[in-house]
Structure 1
Amino acid sequence: MRERLLVLFIIMLATAFFGEMKVNPLGGSFRFSLGIAAFFFGLLWFQSVPVLLTGFLTGTFILGFRVGLDHIFSQVGWMESLQIHLPSAFYYFSFSLLFHFLKARRFLEAPLIVGLIGASVDFVSNMVELQVRHLFNDFPPITWESVFMLLFFGVLRSFFAVGLYNSFSIRQVRAVGEVRQQELEKLRMINTELYQEAFYLRKSMSHLEEITRDSYQLYTRLLSSENTESSAALLIAENVHEVKKDSQRMLAGLSKLINQEVLAPQLPIAELCGLVMRANRKYAEMLGKDIEFSLRCDVNLSTSQIYALLSVLNNLVSNAVEAIYSSGWIELEVKLDQRNILFHVVDNGPGIPSEEREWVFQPGYTTKFDETGNASTGIGLTHAKGIVHSLQGSLQIMNDWGLTTHFKVSLPTDQLLRKEGV
């Protein structure tokens, strides 16, 4: 309620203020001003306010406002000022009445129709005001010249207000679209993290299946040899089986989260790479690093393996961000090579010593340490290589010259186009 009253006050005040930006083409006190444009825009933009009440309050406020100005700045008496400005109130009364009965707000998605309605309502309201002025002030009769002038100014003010409304609407839609895009990007990055967890959960489940089978086989061997430890082996098999079932339930939950219908089933590879670079640009800014990111993508294809590819590329690029000390550059290049798509991630960080490159993909290997000297977990590249292998591709570190680190990912095109698997 308080917000609605505030909106009403804003409309009345804006209409009164812009109403003083006027011309008097017909002579006398009749004016053409920007006040009606402000009033019309207010009715279009603030759709929560009731039209009839807004028109009545605005007309009354305009009357009081102009009479007050006359009293302050002129020597015009109260009654004379009231007779001069009362017809203006009838203009706003008739405008809101016609606007309400024509249901102009229903046509907001058709600017031309709204503009024509506004021009027509403005013209008729002006005619009403002139008739009232003729009754109160002995105003000169209306001529054809004045009719055409009323039509011209009615069209001008109406389409000005409609154009302004559409301009603000487009800007608002764009702002909402940008926010929505940011939300989708965050959701995709979250799903990427979930994909990694689901990928290795499935891998663990296969190991659990093997352990369960081996434990049960051990139990049968011990039982056949009448070993007293056979019951312990059976207990181990049963416990591992329960862990596997719990893992299956967790995997089902992760799969449901990842495969949300609100996200597109496919994403252009160029857009996906752009998402990786934008996310890591923000990551670099958060770390206080001045890093220049560049993306070159000559591949005009979409992929269904959104989270798998995001996971791999994000690991490589974020590793590069973390490896660069304070400033540098990172380049991501994507190109086709026969039936494969190649992803090159290059940075000018400290590099990896040649004698250590064979250990890069081993769990626990890292060149990154935090401020207290603690080493990183060293499983990011292991994650990435495991996912690449699941797509029948390859991930390798290249032996380039200079202080650069260069990773190349090669993935079969048909694997990137197959249905997403969690």
Structure 2
Amino acid sequence: MRNKRFFPYLILILLVPAAGEFQFYPLPVDFRVSFATPILLLLLLYFKDVHAPLSGLLTGISVVLTRIGLGVFGGEDLAPMITLHLPVLGYYVTYGVLFHFIPIKNYSRRPLFIGLFACLLEVASSGVELTARALVLNLSVTSGLVLTVLFVAVIRSFFVMGFYMMILYHDLQTKEKAQRKKNDNILLVISDLYVELIQLKKSIQTSERTTSESYFLSKQLQEQGNNEMSKRLLQIAGRIHECKKDGQRIYASLSSLINRQEFKEWISVSEIIDLVVRANKSYASFLKKNISFEVEIKGRPVKFHSYFLLSILNNLISNSVEAIEESGRIKITADHAVKEGRMTFSIKDNGRGIEPKYHDVIFSPGFTTKYNASGNPSNGIGLSYIKSVIEAHQGTIWLMRSVPHTATEFTIDIPVTLKIEEDAS
């Protein structure tokens, strides 16, 4: 913890003197202008927890010692070097003290105010240094000298303001990218929940039908005099009914979560495909696979229910990523056939493919060609889930073709009028 607290001060006492050696002399006296002050200001703004007066003192001592050391190393006498450079300490101490008392950090998101405050700090600090030089070196402070100091302060302040604006822009871009990634991940999670929600609704409906059939069968058995069997069947119907109630509560909670308004419910096809491609590029990178993605969108711009289409495309494209062994390509095509009022999606890859003998059963629950490192099969519900979700929305899915390591292509066909909102543009 102590090392972390000391680190900003170490950066200050190393970088500022180094930046100070890039200088020029605008005056006919030993009054230099360098990049030390802009670097000092930027570091004080960046390290929000440093004590500014202490930073100014340590930086000033470091700058003075650096300049004296360089002078002595260059053959100059020590005493004149101390006299010449000691007034600089007043500059940095004044800068640190004023930075501490002026609320400059309150305007960290307003570059113009940063530039104005920087100008004020530099003029005041330069005034202290010039006064010290006037006392030590008998320097005559003229109006021309003061105007030059003001001019240099303005120029360096605009430099600081411009550089600080670039830092703010980079920071904004970084935060925007992180937020977009977070939103993408949440949308993908919700799209997976959406698929589960459809399956849960189907299970609830099945439970309701089973409960009803069990109840009527129980009544028939009772009428036939088989009271014991009727009673047992009625108990089973009651337990199924309880399961249905539990399912309804879960369904209501998931529906409430999915229908929250933080995210757009309807998203354009291009946005959805872009999101899925970004996610699966990361997935391919995680699996250490070199996969290129190609996207082709035809027809008029349309919008889909985001969770519905995300869940379908993400499952199919992730299957393609897994099917490619080391490197390959995946092509996603979206085609809006206006006359037929339908949208067709095609996902094609050059992975290991599907053997012809499995073509008729790939959408069956439990079928799988995936095995983990221990040789255990996956649950085989992926394609069957996708098929049931698409059919629930009056759509169809089929395997167009599969030639191992050449082309495996799935095609989805969905009615536009039922599940798509057209873009007014």
Q: TM-score normalised by the shorter chain: which range applies?
A: 0.7 to 0.9
AA matched with 2:329: W
* 1:413 equivalent among 395, 411, 416: 416
Shift of 1:134: 1.0
Q: What CA deviation, in whole Å up to 9, does each residue of 1:22-58 have, x standing for no partner?
A: 2233234321121111111112222222333433443
User: Aligned ranges for residues 16-55 of structure 1 at < 5 Å?
Assistant: 16-55=17-56
Q: What SS does the corresponding residue of 2:265 show, helix, strand or coil? A: coil
Query: For residues 10-409 of structure 1, what are the structure 2 equivalents within 5 Å?
Result: 10-67=11-68, 69-70=70-71, 74-78=75-79, 80-144=80-144, 146-227=145-226, 228-259=228-259, 262-298=262-298, 300-303=301-304, 305-338=305-338, 339-349=341-351, 351-352=353-354, 357-368=359-370, 376-398=378-400, 404-409=407-412
Any idea what the Cα deviations from partners look like across 1:252-276, whole Å, max 9, x if unmatched?
A: 3433444455444343321211222
Greater mean alpha carbon deviation, residues 290-299 or residues 384-393: 290-299
Q: Distance in 1 between matches of 2:384 and 2:287?
A: 24
Preserved CA contact (<8 Å) 1:195 1:308: yes
Change (3 A) 1:236 1:327: same
TM-score by length of 1: 0.86
* Aligned counterparts of 1:31 and 1:326: Cα–Cα separation in 2: 60
Deviations, residues 70-97 of structure 1 (Å, cap 9, x unaligned): 556555344x444322321222233334
State the alpha-carbon separation in 2 of the partners of residues 43 and 268 from structure 1.
45
Is the 1:59–1:88 contact (alpha carbons within 8 Å) kept by the matching residues of 2? Answer: yes
Residues 61, 287 of structure 1: alpha-carbon distance in 2 compared, 3 angstrom cutoff = closer
Matched letter for residue 165 of structure 1? Y
Share of identical aligned residues, percent?
33
The answer to which of 196-205 and 44-53 deviates more is 44-53
Give per-residue Cα distances to partners, 1:122-158, cap 9 Å, x unaligned.
23322332122112210133242x3443233222322
Q: Does structure 2 retain, via aligned residues, the 8 Å contact 1:322–1:368? A: no
Structure 1: segments with no counterpart, 5+ residues = none
Deviations 1:338-395 (A, max 9, x none): 2322211122345556675444433234455556766554332221121112222222
> How many residues are matched?
415
Partner letter of residue 131 of structure 1?
A: T
How far has the Cα of 1:114 moved from its partner?
A: 1.8
Which amino acid in structure 2 is aligned with residue 321 of structure 1? V
374 and 105 in structure 1: CA distance in 2 versus 1, 3 angstrom threshold:
closer
CA contact (8 A) 1:222 1:230 kept: yes
- Aligned-partner Cα distance in 1 for 2:372–2:102: 68
What is the TM-score when the length of structure 2 is the normalising length?
A: 0.85
Distance 2:168 2:106 in 1: 15
Could you say if the C-alpha distance between residues 163 and 241 of structure 1 is closer, same or farther in structure 2, counting changes exceeding 3 Å?
A: same
Secondary structure of residue in 2 paired with 1:392: coil
Residues 126 and 150 of structure 1 are in contact (CA less than 8 Å); yes or no, is this contact kept in structure 2? Answer: yes
Q: Report which stretch shifted further, 399-408 or 337-346.
A: 399-408
User: Residue type of the partner of 1:246?
Assistant: D
In the alignment, the residues of structure 1 paired with residue 110 and residue 169 of structure 2 have an alpha-carbon distance, to the nearest angstrom, of: 14
Output the CA distance in 2 between the equivalents of 1:379 and 1:280: 20
> Runs of 5+ in structure 2 lacking a partner?
none
For the structure 1 residues 122 and 302, does the alpha-carbon distance in structure 2 shift closer, same or farther, using more than 3 Å as the test? Answer: farther
Q: In the aligned structure 2, how far is the partner of 1:374 from the partner of 1:131?
A: 83
Please state whether the residue corresponding to 1:48 is helix, strand or coil.
Answer: coil
Q: Secondary structure at the match of 1:139?
A: coil
Distance (Å, rounded) in 2 between the aligned partners of 1:415 and 1:48 = 57
CA distance in 1, matches of 2:257, 2:8: 42
Moved more, 215-224 or 55-64: 55-64
- The CA RMSD measured in Å over matched residues stands at 3.0
Instruction: Single out whichever of 267-276 and 213-222 deviates more from structure 2.
Output: 267-276
Change beyond 3 A, Cα 1:148–1:268: farther
**Distance in 2 of aligned mates of 1:288 and 1:17:** 43
C-alpha distance in 1, partners of 2:44/2:289?
49
Change (3 A) 1:317 1:358: same
Determine if contact 1:212/1:240 at 8 Å carries over to the other structure.
Answer: yes
1:277-328 deviations in whole A, cap 9, x for unaligned?
A: 233333334445443321112453443x222211211222223333345443
**Which amino acid in structure 2 is aligned with residue 59 of structure 1?**
G
Match of 1:409, SS?
A: strand
